[in-house]
Amino acid sequence: MAGQKLYPRATVKKIVKAHSNCNVSKNADVMMFLDYMLFMQTLMREATIEAKQGGERGITARSVKKVTADSLAKFRG
Rule CB under 8 A: choose which of 53, 54, 55, 68 binds other proteins.
68
Q: Does 53 help bind other proteins (rule: CB under 8 A)?
A: no
Integer-rounded Cα radius of gyration of the chain: 15
Q: How far apart are CA 58 and CA 42, in angstroms?
A: 16
Q: Is 54 among the residues that bind other proteins (CB under 8 A)? A: no
Angle between helices 61-74 and 28-53 (to 10 degrees): 130
Contact footprint for other proteins (CB under 8 A):
1-2, 6-8, 11-12, 14-25, 27-28, 30-45, 47-49, 51, 57-61, 63-65, 68-77
